[in-house]
Amino acid sequence: MHPSRCPPPDAATDLLQLPNVGPRAAADFRLRGLNHPADLRGRDPHRLYLQLCDATGERQDPCVLDVLMSVCRYMDSGEARNWWSFTAERKRKWTV
65-88 pLDDT, tens per residue?
A: 999 999 999 999 999 999 999 999
What is the Cα–Cα distance from 44 to 2, expressed in whole angstroms? 22
Q: What is the DSSP letter of 71?
A: H
Closest by CA position to 21, among listed 76, 81, 90, 89: 81
Judged against a pLDDT cut of 90, whether residue 94 lies above it is answered with: no
**pLDDT, mean of residues 37-48:** 96
Binning the chain into helix, strand and coil, the percentages to the nearest 5 are 65, 0, 35
